[in-house]
A and B are shown apart, each in its own frame.
Chain A
Amino acid sequence: MKTRLTVSRTWRVPMTLAFTSACGLVTGLLFDGPGDAVSWLVLAVPVVVAVGFAIRVVPTK
């Protein structure tokens, strides 16, 4: 049986993603130019993470 993860282990990545997404949504709204670029980079993170993990090849045991 697999061991349980600690609560902080379970939530570390989701919390980081949620926080950075929120920052990306707001910076784009507050600042033009560089703010836009920051929002593109930051909001692309959840997309990359979701797709990256979904297509990641896991070796069969």
Chain B
Amino acid sequence: MLTRSAIKRWYLVHKWTSLVCTVFMLLLCLTGLPLIFADEIDRALGFTLSPSPLPETAGRANLDDIIAAARQRRPGDAVQFIVADPDEPDIWFVRMAKTVAADEPSAFYAFDARTGGYLYEYPLDQGVMSVVLRLHVDLFAGLPGMLLLGFMGLLLVASLVSGVVLYGPFMRKLAFGTVRHHQSPRLKWLDLHNLFGIATLAWFLVVGVTGVINTLAVPIFSQWQSGQLAEMLEPYRDRQPLQQTAALQKMLLAAYAVAPELSLSFIAFPGNHFAGPHHFVAFLQGGSPLTARLLKPVLIDAQTGLAVASVELPLYVKALLLSKPLHFGDYGGLPLKLIWALLDMLSIAVLGSGLYLWLKKRNIPFEVRLGIAPDEKSTKRLDSA
């Protein structure tokens, strides 16, 4: 049951939250569209490629040889991470940077995990797609840009919730899906706005909320680093600086031994924010779409190459890791990506029609828009259960 003044209040919430966030949301929906297909675009542009098929019996190359080959390509740089991709099980990626703790990578190499041979270098910060990505992630403004977009995402959520509240009174005389094609363009677009908005609601809400969580990636990871990771490293605080490290291949096997049912997602090198001064951290992942996201960190002593601890990530990090697939739509193959794109386009229509309605109806009293006469006395309660 909503009184007329309550409807009006919800309407004001809907109008103002939408007005503030719409331009940003249009940008995010438009840039998000090609980003859904980022992997396919990379492949089509020749930025990535699959290694040539080898017989099943082909062994696995020694990880230390691959690291040595990567260092040879950039003698001045440090290896930060070794990364695996579940979609490309025969590739090890090596991320390098000026220093092991640097935020920006200097190179991203792909090596054949079976032969150890060099495959290709992924081009960093090149082409239209990297511009699109930066616009989508942080507006080229780093952390403040990310947090601004996160705030806009919160406004979107408020706009969606208030939109749902308004759907009732606006649709109280119309059957679902009514589109008044033959009346004014404003009514037609109001009906389309309501139809597209309510149809895409759950998806838009999920993509919006998970998008907001993604904008918090930096504070979430730094909280983890100063919390759980720091606790794991605490007993080793007074150690001498690391002189020599054990064989990486030994560490990989040690990590696998901790959880034989898991596979490697990535290894962070000592000195990196995701590792310790004297420790590597191997992040393991499961095989299902869900467990592949929920990483398990294993702390590995760099000197001995032995696994010394492994933990379960805290809930707030799990929430971030799970919000990624639900935002990207990358967990159900190409058909899911196509549906993601269609839902994204419908959301663009919701945003665009909302903007159009605001431009068109600024001079029309609220009561007329809602279809009630301004002086109607008996409409204190518009919607009764």
Contacts and interface: CB of A to CB of B under 8 A. Distances in A.
A58 B203 contact: no
Contact of B198 (A17, A29, A44): A17
A49 B336 contact: no
B290 interface: yes
Contact of B336 (A7, A11, A30, A40): A40
Interface in A4-35: 4-5, 7, 9-14, 17-19, 21-22, 25, 28-32, 35
Interface residues of B, number: 39
A35 B201 CA distance: 22
B39 to A, nearest CB: 16
Contacts of A30: 288-290
A25 B206 contact: yes
Contacts of A50: 195-196, 199-200, 346
Contacts of B385: 7
B201 A4 contact: no
A25 B172 contact: no
Given A2-B173, A30-B289, A53-B195, A46 B336 contact: no
A29 B325 contact: yes
A31 B202 CA distance: 20
A50 to B, nearest CB: 4
Interface of B: 167-168, 171-177, 179, 181-182, 192, 195-196, 198-203, 206, 288-290, 322, 325-326, 331-333, 335-336, 339, 342-343, 346, 383, 385
Given A4-B173, A17-B201, A49-B199, 18 more contacts: A13-B176, A17-B198, A18-B202, A22-B206, A25-B202, A25-B326, A28-B331, A29-B322, A29-B326, A30-B288, A36-B335, A36-B336, A40-B335, A40-B339, A47-B346, A53-B195, A58-B179, A60-B182
